[in-house]
């Protein structure tokens, strides 16, 4: 990408989306060409134009250029402020590797595509447009092109338990470990014992079951009998792709179908948009908004075009009329959806990474349109909302202006959503208010996808900065920016139920499951709509959650990550991920948990003398042994920091290996006669410290530096120079290895052990260590620096420590090392995020928002799962709210809530009686949170019946109600938990 140049024609709503995403991705040069002058209507879709650009009649490309260039200082952005027409000499296109056209006639598209086809090498061609609530794009990458990586997934590694000598040979995975391969995948092998001829051999896979697959013929003599070990590694093999020209594809299009409930739509839209081009060519304009006369003309053209197609598809009159009625408008969220998609296709064109579109995508969001009989106003008013009004009408525009919306999170998706909200005129009315909260600050690594932030914003709050930036897009918005975390701790005072109930809709822009589930529970309990979304690299999802109509987020469970056994991390790593997790744990233990423990210890136990006296009297003092050992080894100066780092090197990467091999020699056998050191267990090899090895030195320098910061020890940059560092390292001789009798855990089901009780000798030794530490350092109780892992600062040595530690451990176990970026991603739990996916997902969320505000029925809403790498977009109707039926007359869903209004003196007995009268069933259990209020079978609970509800529930001051869980005694074997019961105290 860093060597590629792209031409983008048309910098309207769709064009600016494509430009933003491409520049954020980091190509060498983007040239934006546009002959149009900025109009007031452009402000409703083009977020890099301003009112002053309209007033001064600036060219759209020239007005947008600087703001686009600010997104990435490494990308050159050029402008061509002239139109592309039939007379244009296309020779200038030869300097580009990819040409993207928007807002062009079909004739111009055909002319440019033909020119691109004739060049050698072929210039990749992409075109696309948004017409009202319809959009489409076409790709032509040439008659033959390379696809380097079809899906972008990490190559799979499969541990092997057996390979048969047969034709074909059958590979069996280790017990209970699926291979996740597909027929046709190619694998190579390594570390096989016995059948060594397979090592480095490449084979095509035929899947038999989730645990077995066939490979090549292994029956010949060159393949010895399989003994043990071995890993099958998936190989990414480049493949060829083939595209036809635009001219050839017009009558025989290959179409992607995003919504299988509207299987007919892509072919209809293809004919409809070709009819639009024909209509405009004949009439010099598009059909008028809501003109039935123009609609009938367009419909006739579409049917005529359909008759000439290679496919047979009956034209849907209603769909084509909707295209005609809205085509002069432009829905900004649809620009975001298609802009993200087309930008990703452009990146595929430049890199060969991922599978290109084959070759058309059409999408409509006609579900947002009001019913045909609804009275509304779609006329233009010469304002920034004209293009939106022409799509959805004045009524919805007014609703959007007065909306109360709460967005949680302001990262990648949050920035994109704010932009979409600004273009839709959200919360611009007198009663409107958009509240956004995010407790995070802006990091440098955010800038490549969170487009509202610039380098000068680093270390500033995300929410306030994004709010200020988005006001430049639409100054009329009312935004209240918070820096609070939404969690149980802020529930009562900052975001109580009254706050949630005051919102029309909640929007999640979160990056973790726990927060998503919490917001889902708040929306369900307060019966508010929730728009949920997320991305991971090229993958994304959108879920629409509407009270009483759909299931909630928590109705579906995300798959749990496979937990790595404790013994694997501690002693028997099998892959680099295990090594990275081990290194991350060492960082937490050494520089966060232990210093934190020391600080807390001295906050509870005031002086060393008192602690020593209690230990000598064999009185238990919590964590005293651990603290004493940690402080006993504490460095006093920079030299000792380096010495301590060398001790850690020898302990982690030499003594540990010797200890394991002492306990389990290479010829150790299991009870069943099998080898102990059998895949996936790898025997370690002790590492000898080498001061000339860069990886060894990186560990020493990063470890010494972190210990120095923990213990407030000064150091200088020159302390890391070989002239100073090497003599310090050479001057310290590490004690020889002494065999240990410490037990090594081999049970994969065993958990990490907590601190065990200590003998009197250990306690007295702890007292002696504390005494020595106190004598040599009279500030032993001085607070230590607790270091929290920070992945985004490359100068703090945090990632250096984990990278060196992980790769040294990998070397000890003969595991392939990982580069720094991979270590940083895994250790920092970085979810891959790219601008193209976040733009597409945010646009889909904004479309669903329009439906929620309109109050549509269930069949109008759509959930989405997409993967831009394949590419794949799957739209589906949300699952309905599941109903629990008690009897023919009484049922409820997760959205229901029963209410009981009591009085100050209301007793538990009265509550139960009132409940029975209201519901028709007795309560078999009353629970508040984790507290059991009434369980008849428990002793003493019957005595609570005459007590007041206020006494039993102990409400906070001014608390008007509580939500209770009440189980129903239905006479069945098991009682049924009813919906939440909101009990009002009557205060």
pLDDT digits (tens, 9 = 90+) for 75-108: 999 999 999 999 999 999 999 999 999 999 999 9
pLDDT digits (tens, 9 = 90+) for 941-979: 999 999 999 999 999 888 999 999 999 988 777 888 899
Question: Is the domain of 413 the same as that of 438?
Answer: yes
> For residue 846, what is the domain's CATH number?
3.40.50.720
What does the pLDDT read at residue 469?
97
Q: How confident is the model at residue 765 (pLDDT cuts 50, 70, 90)?
A: confident
Which residues 6+ apart lie within 8 Å of 631 measured at CB? 598, 769, 770, 773, 780
**Cα 624 to the center of its chain, rounded Å:** 42
**Does any domain span residue 137?**
no
- Of 414-418, 569-573, 644-648, 779-783, the range with the lowest mean pLDDT is 779-783
Strands (E), 563-669: none
Cβ-contact 527, 550 below 8 angstroms: no
* φ/ψ (deg, to 5) at 520: -60, -45
Helices marked H in 103-257: 106-118, 246-249
Query: How far, in Å, CA of 359 to CA of 616, rounded?
Result: 80
Grouping H, G, I as helix, E, B as strand and the rest as coil, residue 9 is: strand
The pTM for the full model equals: 0.91
Which one of 235, 267, 300 terminates a domain? 235
| Beta strand 170-173 pairing with 157-163 | antiparallel
Longest dimension (CA), the chain: 102
What does the pLDDT read at residue 175?
84
**Does any domain span residue 264?**
no
Query: How far, in Å, CA of 133 to CA of 328, rounded?
Result: 10
What does the pLDDT read at residue 560?
59
| Beta strand 404-408 pairing with 961-969 | unpaired
Task: Kindly tell me if the per-residue pLDDT of 558 is higher than 70.
Answer: no
Query: How far, in Å, CA of 867 to CA of 834, rounded?
Result: 12
Strands (E), 10-154: 29-33, 76-80, 98-102, 124-131, 134-140, 145-147
Q: Which of 636, 647, 885 is nearest to 774 (CA)?
A: 636
**Does any domain span residue 714?**
yes
Cβ-contact 625, 758 below 8 angstroms: yes
Question: Is the domain of 552 the same as that of 530?
Answer: yes
Task: Kindly tell me if the per-residue pLDDT of 755 is higher than 60.
Answer: no
What does the pLDDT read at residue 756?
58
Question: Is the domain of 961 the same as that of 860?
Answer: no
Question: Is the domain of 907 the same as that of 851?
Answer: no
Task: Kindly tell me if the per-residue pLDDT of 770 is higher than 70.
Answer: yes
Task: Kindly tell me if the per-residue pLDDT of 562 is higher than 80.
Answer: no
Question: Is the domain of 673 the same as that of 821?
Answer: yes
pLDDT digits (tens, 9 = 90+) for 460-508: 999 999 999 999 999 999 999 999 999 999 999 999 999 999 999 999 9
Cβ-contact 28, 1 below 8 angstroms: yes
Question: Is the domain of 842 the same as that of 770?
Answer: no
Question: Is the domain of 797 the same as that of 812?
Answer: yes
Angle at 565 between CA 563 and CA 568, to 5 degrees: 130
Of 742 and 365, more confident: 365
Count up the domains in the chain and report the number.
4
Catalytic hit among 98, 330, 567, 641: 567
End-to-end CA gap in the chain = 66
Question: Is the domain of 682 the same as that of 814?
Answer: yes
Cβ-contact 205, 214 below 8 angstroms: yes
One-letter-per-residue 3-state SS of 825-865: HHHCCCCCECHHHHHHHHHHHHHHHHHHHHCCCHHHCCEEE
- Of 90-94, 617-621, 867-871, 951-955, the range with the lowest mean pLDDT is 617-621
- Provide mean pLDDT across the span 614-619: 84
Cβ-contact 422, 474 below 8 angstroms: yes
> For residue 658, what is the domain's CATH number?
1.10.10.2660
pLDDT digits (tens, 9 = 90+) for 906-932: 999 999 999 999 898 999 999 998 899
Q: Which domain holds residue 164?
A: 157-235
Which one of 879, 912, 947 terminates a domain? 879
Grouping H, G, I as helix, E, B as strand and the rest as coil, residue 76 is: strand
What does the pLDDT read at residue 599?
93
Question: Is the domain of 821 the same as that of 842?
Answer: no
Q: Which of 106, 119, 162, 502 is nearest to 276 (CA)?
A: 106
Known active-site residue 173: no
Is the bond into 386 cis (omega within 30 degrees of 0)? no
> For residue 184, what is the domain's CATH number?
2.40.30.180
**Does any domain span residue 649?**
yes
Which residues 6+ apart lie within 8 Å of 4 measured at CB? 27, 28, 29, 97, 98, 350
Q: Which of 315, 312, 851, 297 is nearest to 544 (CA)?
A: 851
- What is the signed CA dihedral for 578, 579, 582, 584, rounded to 10 degrees? -110
Structure tokens given for 748: 């994969």
Question: Is the domain of 655 the same as that of 522?
Answer: no
Mean pLDDT of the chain: 93
**Does any domain span residue 744?**
no
Cβ-contact 58, 50 below 8 angstroms: no
**Cα 986 to the center of its chain, rounded Å:** 45
Adjacent-strand bridge partners of 923: 968
Cβ-contact 612, 770 below 8 angstroms: yes
Q: Which of 397, 405, 319, 398 is nearest to 363 (CA)?
A: 319
Q: How confident is the model at residue 830 (pLDDT cuts 50, 70, 90)?
A: confident
**Cα 614 to the center of its chain, rounded Å:** 51
Q: How confident is the model at residue 778 (pLDDT cuts 50, 70, 90)?
A: low
Compute the residue count for the chain. 987
Q: How confident is the model at residue 433 (pLDDT cuts 50, 70, 90)?
A: very high
Which residues 6+ apart lie within 8 Å of 455 measured at CB? 73, 444, 447
DSSP string, 135-176: EEEEEE--SSEEESBSS-PPPPEEEEEEE-SSSS-EEEESTT
Which one of 879, 894, 909 terminates a domain? 879
**Does any domain span residue 498?**
yes
**Does any domain span residue 819?**
yes
Is the torsion defined by CA of 148, 149, 150, 156 positive or negative? positive
| Beta strand 29-33 pairing with 360-364 | unpaired
- Provide mean pLDDT across the span 345-351: 98
Query: How far, in Å, CA of 159 to CA of 179, rounded?
Result: 8
What does the pLDDT read at residue 664?
94
Cβ-contact 21, 339 below 8 angstroms: yes
What does the pLDDT read at residue 77?
98
Q: Which of 466, 538, 526 is nearest to 501 (CA)?
A: 526
Cβ-contact 415, 451 below 8 angstroms: yes
**Cα 474 to the center of its chain, rounded Å:** 28
DSSP string, 350-396: HH-BSPPP-SEEEEE-GGGSPPTT--------SSTTHHHHHHH-HHH
**Does any domain span residue 970?**
yes
| Beta strand 891-892 pairing with 884-885 | antiparallel
What does the pLDDT read at residue 771?
84
Cβ-contact 105, 286 below 8 angstroms: no
Burial class (CB in 10 A: 0-12, 13-18, 19+), 18: buried
Query: How far, in Å, CA of 263 to CA of 534, rounded?
Result: 26
Adjacent-strand bridge partners of 833: 537
Q: How confident is the model at residue 561 (pLDDT cuts 50, 70, 90)?
A: low
- Provide mean pLDDT across the span 833-850: 97
Query: How far, in Å, CA of 89 to CA of 872, rounded?
Result: 37
Task: Kindly tell me if the per-residue pLDDT of 777 is higher than 70.
Answer: no
What does the pLDDT read at residue 241?
97
Question: Is the domain of 761 the same as that of 652?
Answer: yes
**DSSP annotation of 752:** P
What does the pLDDT read at residue 210?
95
Q: How confident is the model at residue 594 (pLDDT cuts 50, 70, 90)?
A: very high
pLDDT digits (tens, 9 = 90+) for 677-688: 988 899 999 999
Question: Is the domain of 852 the same as that of 821?
Answer: no
Task: Kindly tell me if the per-residue pLDDT of 249 is higher than 90.
Answer: yes
Adjacent-strand bridge partners of 256: 361
Give the rounded percent of residues in the chain with a pLDDT score beyond 70. Answer: 98
Distances (CA, A) of 932 to 546, 903, 957, 961, 971: 31, 21, 22, 17, 21
């Amino acid at each position: 990408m860093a060597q590629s140049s792209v031409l983008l024609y048309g910098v309207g709503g769709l064009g600016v989306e494509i430009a933003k995403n491409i520049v954020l991705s980091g190509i060498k040069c983007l040239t934006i060409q546009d002959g149009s002058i900025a109009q007031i209507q452009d402000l409703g879709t083009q977020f890099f134009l301003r009112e002053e650009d309209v007033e001064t009649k600036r060219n759209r490309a020239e007005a947008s250029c600087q703001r686009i260039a600010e997104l990435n200082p490494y990308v050159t952005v050029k402008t061509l402020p002239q139109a592309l027409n039939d007379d244009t000499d296309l020779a200038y296109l030869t300097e580009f590797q990819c040409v993207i056209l928007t807002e062009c006639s079909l004739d111009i598209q055909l002319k440019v595509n033909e020119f691109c086809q004739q060049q050698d090498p072929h210039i990749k061609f992409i075109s696309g447009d948004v017409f009202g609530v319809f959009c489409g794009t076409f790709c032509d990458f040439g008659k033959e092109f390379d696809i380097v990586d079809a899906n972008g997934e990490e190559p799979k590694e499969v541990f092997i338990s057996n390979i048969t000598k047969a034709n074909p040979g059958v590979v069996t995975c280790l017990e209970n470990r699926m291979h996740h391969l597909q027929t046709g995948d190619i694998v190579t092998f390594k570390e096989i014992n016995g059948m060594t001829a397979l090592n480095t051999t490449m084979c095509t896979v035929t899947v038999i079951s989730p645990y077995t697959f066939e490979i090549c013929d292994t029956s010949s003599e060159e393949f010895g009998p399989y003994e043990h070990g071995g890993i099958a590694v998936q190989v990414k093999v480049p493949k060829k792709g083939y595209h036809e020209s635009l001219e050839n594809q017009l009558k025989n299009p290959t179409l992607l179908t995003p919504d299988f409930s509207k299987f007919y739509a892509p072919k209809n839209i293809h004919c409809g948009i070709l009819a639009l081009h024909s209509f405009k060519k004949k009439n010099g304009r598009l059909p008028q908004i809501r003109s039935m006369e123009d609609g009938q003309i367009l419909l006739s053209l579409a049917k005529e075009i359909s008759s000439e197609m290679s496919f047979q598809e009956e034209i849907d009159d209603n769909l084509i009329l909707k295209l005609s009625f809205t085509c002069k408008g432009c829905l900004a969220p649809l620009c975001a959806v298609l802009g993200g998609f087309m930008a990703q296709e452009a990146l595929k064109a430049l890199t060969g990474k991922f599978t290109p579109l084959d070759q058309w995508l059409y999408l409509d969001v006609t579900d947002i349109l009001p019913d045909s009989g609804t009275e509304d106003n779609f006329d233009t008013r010469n304002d920034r909302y004209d293009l939106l009004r022409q799509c959805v009408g004045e009524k919805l525009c007014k609703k959007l202006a007065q909306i109360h919306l709460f967005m949680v999170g302001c990262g990648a998706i949050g920035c994109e959503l704010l932009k979409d909200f600004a273009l839709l005129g959200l919360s611009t009315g007198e009663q409107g208010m958009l509240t956004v909260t995010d407790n995070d600050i802006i990091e440098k690594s955010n800038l490549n996808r969170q487009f509202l932030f610039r380098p000068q914003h680093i270390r500033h709050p995300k929410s306030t900065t994004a709010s200020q930036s988005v006001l430049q897009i639409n100054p009329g918005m009312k935004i209240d920016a918070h820096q609070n975390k939404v969690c149980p701790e802020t529930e009562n005072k900052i975001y109580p139920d009254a706050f949630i109930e005051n919102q029309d809709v909640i929007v999640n822009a979160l990056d973790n499951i726990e927060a998503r589930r919490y917001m889902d529970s708040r929306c369900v309990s307060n019966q508010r709509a929730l728009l949920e979304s997320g991305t991971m690299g090229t993958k994304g999802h959108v879920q629409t959650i509407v009270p009483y109509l759909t299931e909630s987020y928590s109705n579906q469970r995300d798959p749990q990550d496979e937990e790595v056994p404790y013994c694997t991390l501690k002693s028997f790593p099998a892959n680099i991920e295990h090594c990275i997790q081990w290194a991350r744990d060492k960082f937490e233990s050494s520089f966060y948990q232990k210093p934190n423990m020391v600080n807390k210890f001295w906050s509870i136990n005031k002086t060393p003398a008192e602690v020593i006296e209690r230990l000598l009297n064999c009185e238990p003092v919590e964590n005293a042994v651990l603290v004493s050992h940690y402080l006993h080894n504490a460095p006093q100066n920079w030299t000792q920091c380096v010495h301590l780092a060398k001790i850690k090197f020898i302990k982690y990467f030499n003594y540990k290996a010797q200890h394991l091999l002492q306990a389990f020699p290479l010829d150790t056998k299991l009870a069943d006669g099998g080898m102990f050191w059998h895949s996936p267990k790898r025997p370690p090899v002790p590492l000898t410290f080498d001061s000339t090895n860069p990886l060894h030195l990186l560990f020493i320098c990063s470890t010494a530096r972190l210990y120095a910061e923990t213990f407030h020890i000064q150091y200088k940059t020159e302390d890391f120079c070989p002239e100073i560092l090497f003599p310090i390292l050479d001057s310290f001789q590490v004690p020889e290895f002494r065999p240990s009798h410490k037990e090594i855990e081999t049970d994969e089901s065993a958990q990490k052990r907590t601190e065990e009780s200590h003998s009197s000798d250990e306690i007295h030794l702890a007292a002696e260590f504390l005494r020595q530490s106190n004598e040599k350092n009279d500030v032993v109780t001085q607070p230590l620096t607790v270091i929290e892992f920070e992945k985004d600062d490359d100068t703090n040595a945090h990632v250096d420590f984990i990278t060196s530690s992980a790769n040294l451990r990998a070397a000890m176990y003969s595991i392939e090392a990982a580069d720094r970026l991979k270590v940083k991603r895994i250790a920092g739990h970085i979810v891959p995020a790219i601008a193209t996916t976040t733009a597409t997902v945010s646009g889909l969320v904004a479309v669903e928002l329009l439906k929620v505000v309109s109050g549509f029925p269930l069949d109008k809403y759509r959930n989405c799962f997409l993967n831009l790498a394949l590419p794949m977009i799957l739209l589906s109707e949300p699952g309905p709210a599941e109903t629990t039926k008690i009897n023919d007359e009484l049922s409820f869903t997760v959205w229901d809530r029963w209410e009981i209004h009591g009085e100050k003196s209301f007793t538990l007995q009265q509550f139960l009686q009132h409940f029975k009268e209201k519901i028709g069933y007795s309560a078999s259990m009353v629970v508040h949170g984790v507290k059991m209020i009434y369980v008849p079978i428990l002793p003493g609970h019957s005595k609570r019946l005459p007590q007041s509800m206020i006494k039993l529930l102990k409400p906070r001051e001014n608390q008007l109600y509580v939500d209770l869980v009440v189980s129903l005694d239905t006479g069945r074997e098991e009682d049924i938990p009813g919906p939440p019961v909101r009990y009002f105290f009557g205060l």
